[in-house]
Amino acid sequence: MPLLSDLAHALEAGDRSRVEDLTARALQENVSPEGILREGLFAGMDVVGARFKSGDIYIPQVLIAARAMHAGLEILRPHLIRTGAKPAGIFIIGTVQGDHHDIGKNLVAMMLQGKGFEVIDLGVNVPPERFVQALRDHEANLLGLSALLSITLPFMKETIEAICRAGLRDSVKIMVGGGPVTRAFADQIGADGYAPDATTAAENALALLS
Ligand code: B1M
């Protein structure tokens, strides 16, 4: 669809106002929010990632594209979140220590809200002890750890170990996800769940509670 490929190109170019405009137009034209994500915003970000990896563009351009992505996601937010009357559960989420990537985590949080979860978002670069403190402060059913960097994966394991040491492991289900995370890794570090994408994360969160 030309509108969605224009949106992907606007994201690649980091043109925030055009991303906002085209996202809103796609909604007006009754394109599904999931289609806008997949064929517009994700498609554009895939190209940004590939160009970053090959050294064709640098961090400032990636950051500008990320800001445009956030702007598009904010327009989609109310369409992705359709809360039910009763909260499905409380879900604490954060990006692990050392890692500042938050676009995927934010999307997971939106999808969880869409399934009726109350989401407590601890942000990025969250050390294990902050996750532990958040579990003490809130009666959460689920905890989600996101990581996009291979070098921050060990902090997922350290966070789970800190939760065990605090005596809180039996009171919460833990889900992990993000680019370098695999199901095998999730099993290896003793997580209860893993999801490769935001939609599956929300579905698996409900399944973990049942
Ligand atoms: Co970074 N970066 N980055 N970056 N960056 C990657 C991740 C990278 C793959 C790029 C590359 O080389 N091709 C690479 C990591 C390689 C690796 O370790 N395996 C990389 C690198 C190396 C770095 C720096 C080290 C670069 C440097 O400084 N030399 C640096 C690290 C900074 C830090 O964190 N300490 C860095 C910085 C940045 C920016 C700040 C510029 C920016 C982040 C902005 C932000 O997030 N606010 C950025 C970006 C944007 C990317 C890419 C291009 C895009 C990531 C993204 O947002 N994707 C990325 C390349 C790529 O992924 N193609 C890259 C869109 C998002 C919707 O997808 O986050 O995968 P994703 O989330 C998905 C799933 O993973 C899953 O659901 C989401 C939606 O479907 N998911 C979960 C995520 N969390 C989940 C949790 C769950 C379940 C599912 O349960 C709890």
pTM higher than 0.85: yes
Contact between 91 and 120 (Cβ < 8 Å): yes
Confidence of residue 86 (pLDDT cuts 50, 70, 90): low
pLDDT in tens, 185-196: 999 999 999 999
Q: Is 57's pLDDT higher than 70?
A: yes
For residue 99, the CA-to-ligand 1 centroid distance in Å is 9
Q: Which of 10-19, 71-80, 130-139 is the least confident region?
A: 71-80
Contacts of 73 (CB under 8 A, 6+ apart): 41, 103, 106, 107, 110
3-state secondary structure the chain: CHHHHHHHHHHHCCCHHHHHHHHHHHHHCCCCHHHHHHHHHHHHHHHHHHHHHCCCCCHHHHHHHHHHHHHHHHHHHHHHCCCCCCCCEEEEEEEECCCCCCHHHHHHHHHHHHCCEEEEECCCCECHHHHHHHHHHCCCCEEEEECCCHHHHHHHHHHHHHHHHCCCHHHCEEEEECCCCCHHHHHHCCCCEECCCHHHHHHHHHHHHC
Establish whether residue 156 lines the binding site of ligand 1, counting it when its CB lies within 6 angstroms of any ligand atom.
no
What is the residue-averaged pLDDT of the chain? 93
For residue 179, the CA-to-ligand 1 centroid distance in Å is 7
Q: What is the pLDDT of residue 144?
A: 98
Q: Is 175's pLDDT higher than 90?
A: yes
Nearest to 42 by CA among 84, 11, 74: 11
Contact between 205 and 175 (Cβ < 8 Å): yes
Taking residue 139's Cβ as centre, other Cβ atoms within 10 Å add up to: 10
Q: Which atom of ligand 1 is nearest to the CA of 147?
A: 84
Establish whether residue 97 lines the binding site of ligand 1, counting it when its CB lies within 6 angstroms of any ligand atom.
no
pLDDT in tens, 95-154: 999 999 999 999 899 888 878 888 999 999 999 999 999 999 998 999 999 999 999 999
Establish whether residue 105 lines the binding site of ligand 1, counting it when its CB lies within 6 angstroms of any ligand atom.
yes
Give the pairing type, strands 142-146 and 173-177: parallel
Q: Which of 40-54, 75-89, 148-162, 174-188 is the least confident region?
A: 75-89
Confidence of residue 53 (pLDDT cuts 50, 70, 90): confident
Confidence of residue 14 (pLDDT cuts 50, 70, 90): very high
Residue to substitute in 148, 159, 192, 206 for testing ligand 1 pocket (most ligand atoms within 8 angstroms of CB): 148
For residue 150, the CA-to-ligand 1 centroid distance in Å is 10
Establish whether residue 67 lines the binding site of ligand 1, counting it when its CB lies within 6 angstroms of any ligand atom.
no
Establish whether residue 86 lines the binding site of ligand 1, counting it when its CB lies within 6 angstroms of any ligand atom.
no
For residue 210, the CA-to-ligand 1 centroid distance in Å is 31
